């Protein structure tokens, strides 16, 4: 099955996408999560969107496997609880590529694939090994009293710092990926030199027996993975809005204009601090992170 391709070259693939857009490695990861045993002769169709961005990085991968649409997204930052909604929008766009535009107007029912959605979480914020998010949970408390008419389920697996060790043992590629990420962070913190950190990481990965073809992808993709180019203006606007909302809520609870102003200021400061931390986790120094956010 050939799909229309709309390739956007203004943004670079993440390392996760570079690894798992390969059908064999994608199948390995899926088997590891589901406990299935799909072999190399399994019919698969690459349905990855070429312009779906997360923090200016293409890190989504999706395939049709045995009649199922399986979507993986890798997340390295503070987990976004809007994932069910984002996956719903993603699935709609993939369905558009799978169906002929006129098919939905026919009287006969159109056959669609089952859908499964997964997030591989690799952030440093403490998080359980496995969490399920549901679209229906995003409704307000009043609407939650009623059964949902639309549902979408996302399974999130944490692989940071020893989490889900059994899963990592079942997918050698995912295990190698997590080891590389953590080693690179450790060496970069020590050396503050990307080149040195990369050489040390590659050398240790070879000593540990990491697959050579995987090491080559790691070496080429490190800048894309660790030093992603954020859309900082948009990110700062979101942090500012969230901070102002928290500050306003605190101020209103105090019932005093002075309290409201203090709450807004504290909330905005907290939001900016979150932004600095996020950039430092990518490898920037504190001074570089503050400069990025206009704090110097």
Burial class (CB in 10 A: 0-12, 13-18, 19+), 157: buried
At residue 120, the pLDDT reads 93
Whether the pLDDT of residue 296 is over 90: the answer is no
DSSP SS3 for 44: strand
pLDDT tens-digit readout, 94-138: 998 888 766 777 788 888 899 999 999 988 788 899 999 999 999
Task: Please state, in angstroms and rounded to a whole number, the distance separating the CA atoms of residues 259 and 268.
Answer: 14
Q: Are residues 28 and 44 in contact, defined by beta-carbon separation less than 8 angstroms?
A: no
Helix axes 194-208, 212-226, angle to 10 degrees: 150
Question: Would you say residue 6 has pLDDT above 60?
Answer: no
Overall average pLDDT of the 137-148 stretch? 94
Q: What's the confidence (pLDDT) of residue 53? A: 56
Lowest-confidence pick of 7-16, 72-81, 177-186: 7-16
Whether the predicted pLDDT of 48 surpasses 60: yes
Could you identify the residue written with the tokens 């102002």?
244
Average pLDDT over residues 245-274: 62
Return the ∠ at Cα 172 (arms to 171 and 174), rounded to 5°: 70
Q: Is the pLDDT of residue 142 over 80?
A: yes
Say whether pLDDT at 199 is over 70: yes
Cα gap 89→135, rounded to integer Å: 12
What are the φ and ψ backbone dihedral angles of 36, each rounded to 5 degrees? -90, 175
- Kindly list the domain boundaries of the chain, sorted by start residue: 15-226, 232-292
Q: Report which listed range, 87-96, 131-140, 176-185, is most confident.
A: 131-140
Per residue in 22-35, pLDDT tens? 999 999 999 999 99
Please state, for a pLDDT cut of 90, what percent of the chain lies above it.
38
Selected residue with higher pLDDT from 122 and 149: 149
């Amino acid at each position: 099955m050939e799909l229309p391709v709309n390739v956007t070259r203004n943004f670079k693939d993440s390392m996760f996408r570079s690894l798992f857009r390969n059908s064999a490695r994608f199948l390995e990861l899926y088997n590891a999560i589901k406990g299935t045993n799909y072999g190399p002769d399994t019919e698969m169709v690459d349905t990855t969107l070429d312009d779906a961005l997360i923090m200016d990085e293409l890190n989504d991968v999706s395939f049709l496997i045995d009649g199922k649409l399986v979507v993986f997204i890798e997340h390295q930052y503070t987990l976004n609880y809007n994932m069910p909604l984002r996956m719903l929008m993603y699935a709609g766009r993939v369905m558009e590529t799978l169906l002929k535009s006129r098919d939905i107007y026919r009287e006969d029912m159109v056959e669609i694939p089952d859908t499964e959605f997964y997030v591989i979480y690799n952030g440093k914020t403490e998080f359980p090994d496995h969490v399920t998010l549901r679209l229906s949970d995003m409704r307000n408390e009043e609407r939650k009293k009623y059964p949902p008419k639309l549902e979408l389920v996302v399974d999130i697996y944490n692989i940071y710092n020893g989490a889900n060790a059994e899963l990592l043992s079942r997918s050698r590629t995912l295990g190698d990926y997590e080891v590389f990420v953590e080693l690179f962070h450790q060496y970069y913190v020590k050396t503050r030199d990307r080149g040195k950190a990369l050489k040390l990481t590659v050398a240790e990965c070879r000593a540990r027996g990491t697959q050579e073809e995987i090491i080559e992808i790691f070496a080429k993709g490190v800048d894309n993975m660790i030093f992603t180019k954020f859309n900082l203006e948009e990110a700062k606007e979101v942090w500012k809005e969230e901070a102002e909302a928290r500050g306003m809520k605190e101020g209103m609870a105090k019932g005093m204009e002075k309290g409201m102003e203090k709450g807004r200021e504290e909330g905005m400061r907290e939001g900016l601090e979150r932004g600095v931390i996020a950039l430092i986790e990518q490898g920037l120094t504190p001074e570089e992170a503050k400069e990025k956010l206009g704090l110097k």
